Amino acid sequence: MALLPILRYPDPRLHKKAATVSVVDDSIRQLVRDMAETMYAAPGIGLAATQVDVHKRVITIDISEDRSGLIVLVNPVLVSARGEAECEEGCLSVPGYYDNVTRAAEITFRAFTAEGKPFERTVDGLLAVCVQHEMDHLIGKVDSGQRGKRQPGWAIEDDVVEIVAEVLDHPLHAVAHLEHVLDRDAFGDADGQVQVGFHSFPDGRRGAGGRHVDH
Ligand code: K1U
Ligand code: ZN
């Protein structure tokens, strides 16, 4: 098994459309094993092949508490969708962001297992949200978290605060400017105020990120 690097927004490869898998063979099963390992390590509750730069319609999901409920979707297709639900979503390709997204509350989809067996399922709740999120990845859609909320552990360094104060009226400028100054990814919001800086994760890792400032 292998841990695969996860592409990060704004990598243009995240917008590629995944191709239908023609045969579920050993190479697909190896991809599934690697994706599952990568998803568990991230940690995440879902992963689309697009996110690991493999442009095939393959998804892994595990929403179980004890990480024992791996679901594999090869060539998933949406059959029907009902109702609406607003939920907070994260994305491993946009670390540090959580965004409120409106999704169908219940969906029915068809897919193939890693053994190439067709199945159909009707799901709701977090699983429905996660399937929709991962299927978006397969068509190259990424929610960049532009309405993202502040996460616990947020920290902005002094030098970054100065830059933010200077460019607060031009959030997209702020993002481009900070990416240049910090030489790393930063995120922003097209229509609101954005602060951009470093995010401190509970385990001590640090990364650049941004947060929307409510008026
Ligand atoms: O596709 C991805 O980017 C993975 C993403 C899936 C997702 C999360 C929430 C709602 C919809 C889709 C994640 O897994 S983000 C990380 C996350 O939500 C999480 C990680 C560990 C434990 C519990 C949740
Ligand atoms: Zn995602």
Average pLDDT score over residue span 13-21 = 98
Provide the pLDDT confidence category of residue 145 given band limits of 50, 70 and 90: low
Q: Supply the pLDDT for residue 189.
A: 42
Alpha helices in the chain (DSSP H): 26-41, 125-138, 158-167, 171-182
Residue 196 tokens, joined: 């951009």
Q: What residue owns the CA closest to ligand 1's atom 14?
A: 44
Classify residue 118 as exposed, middle or buried by CB count within 10 Å of its CB (0-12, 13-18, 19+): exposed
Report which bound ligand comes closest to the CA of 145: 2
Q: Supply the pLDDT for residue 144.
A: 75
Q: Supply the pLDDT for residue 98.
A: 87
Q: Which residues contact 135 (CB under 8 A, 6 or more apart)?
A: 48, 59, 76, 78, 109
Q: How far apart are CA 160 and CA 158, in angstroms?
A: 5
Ligand 2 centroid vs 41 CA: distance in angstroms? Answer: 15
Please give all residues whose beta carbon lies within 6 A of any atom in ligand 1, as ranges: 43-48, 89-93, 129-130, 133-134, 137
pLDDT higher than 60, residue 176: no
User: Percentages helix, strand, coil for the chain, rounded to the nearest 5?
Assistant: 30, 30, 40
